[in-house]
Amino acid sequence: MRTLIVLALAGLGAQLVDGSLGMAYGVTSTTLLLAVGTNPAAASATVHLAEIGTTLVSGAAHWRFGNVDWRVVTRIGVPGAIGAFAGATFLSNLSTETAEPVMSLILLTLGIYVLSRFTVSGLPTTNLDKPLRRRFLSPLGLVAGFVDATGGGGWGPVGTPALLASGRMEPRKVIGSIDTSEFLVSVAASLGFLAGLGSEGIDATWVAALLLGGVIAAPIAAWLVRHIPPRVLGSAVGGVIILTNARTLLRGDWLNASEGVVWTVYVVVYALWAAAVTHSIRAHLRTEAEARAAAGSASASASADESAAESGADAGAGRVHEPAGAAAGAPAGAAAGARDDSSGPDEPTEPTPAV
């Protein structure tokens, strides 16, 4: 029962991250299953079966909040499904001894990419609304689908940063479209695993626990995608993935590192992780402060322009009234002068006395 609760909570947390960041449900869940000793192929199959439900609910929620570009969903989702089926078939034919370090290495690489990508660069927003071409989306979907099936996750870590890096879609639409298209990938990967493994090693209650947590979190994550800073979340998730899979590799047959080496690596990873998260938080706060300052400056400039316009209008009104008064006074003076001049010649002039 305890394991099921842990799996449900893991599914909930992973879906919160995935739905708001566009990645990490499969990577996080598969990492957890590997940590408790699950067969790599069975772990990936379990996660993908659960993802059929979570991605369906998540896609519907993202669609409701206007986060989905259906053209991108179809152009990347169909090749992704083909790649996922091929990847599932490939992984099913590998021995556990070979598959576990291979999967951990893939996950570790993805974790490093996620951590560095979001810590260093954040989210690019240039070139928005430019169309994404099929010749870019199709190969991306094929590769991401294959990595997703063989690594137990990877659709989001490969697809989301690639679309974000293009700068041609809003981040929320990238996340919503990736989450929605992942339904096709999950179905294809599950079919590939069932064809290669049957039901061997797949625990239906574990699938249900992951599914329950993910379904609960999916609509919340679709709403939170507009409120959670993705940069901070990406750094945090990347660190978790690196730490967990580094442990698997260090203690596995490939490296079989000593305790001293293991703990040294742990300390280094923890230090780098803490530094990355701290940097992302500071960068996010700095960006928000700059945005507030820019908004305040724009508001002050608008107020100054408005005041200047009002002053100019008042001055202009004064200038309009002044000539009118002058014009009114001028004829009067002229008339008076005319009367004085006209009366002069008609008056009798006194003779000048003789001396």
- Angle at the Cα of 75 (from 74 to 77), degrees rounded to 5? 60
Each domain of the chain, given as residue ranges in start order, spans 2-293
CA distances for 142 relative to 3, 83, 107, 328, angstroms: 34, 5, 18, 86
Residue 347's Cβ-side half-sphere holds a number of Cα atoms within 13 Å equal to 9
What tokens appear for 313 in the block?
């209008």
Instruction: Tell me the H-state helices in 167-258.
Output: 171-197, 204-224, 230-251
Per the rule left: phi > 0, alpha: psi between -120 and 50, beta: everything else, 254 is alpha
Q: Does the structure show a pLDDT above 50 at 345?
A: no
Q: What is the pLDDT of residue 86?
A: 92
Sign of CA dihedral 248, 254, 258, 264: negative
pLDDT range class, residue 333, cuts 50, 70, 90 = very low
Look up the pTM and report it: 0.63
- Angle at the Cα of 226 (from 221 to 232), degrees rounded to 5? 80
User: How many other CB atoms sit within 10 Å of the CB of residue 109?
Assistant: 17
Q: What is the pLDDT of residue 278?
A: 93
CA 298 to chain centre: 26
What tokens appear for 162 in the block?
């690639």
Q: What is the pLDDT of residue 317?
A: 60
> Using one digit for the tens of pLDDT, what is the confidence trace for 12-29?
877 877 776 667 788 778
Mean pLDDT, residues 272-277: 93
What tokens appear for 344 in the block?
């002069």
Mean pLDDT, residues 199-224: 82
Q: Does the structure show a pLDDT above 60 at 213?
A: yes
Ranking 194-203, 241-250, 314-323, 333-342 by mean pLDDT, the lowest is 333-342
Q: What is the pLDDT of residue 339?
A: 46
CA–CA gap between residue 178 and residue 193 (Å, rounded): 22
Q: Does the structure show a pLDDT above 70 at 35?
A: yes
Q: In the predicted model, what is the mean pLDDT of the chain?
A: 78
CA-wise closest residue to 28 among 191, 188, 154, 161: 154
Mean pLDDT, residues 156-184: 82
Tell me which of 347 and 224 has the higher pLDDT: 224
CA–CA gap between residue 116 and residue 242 (Å, rounded): 11
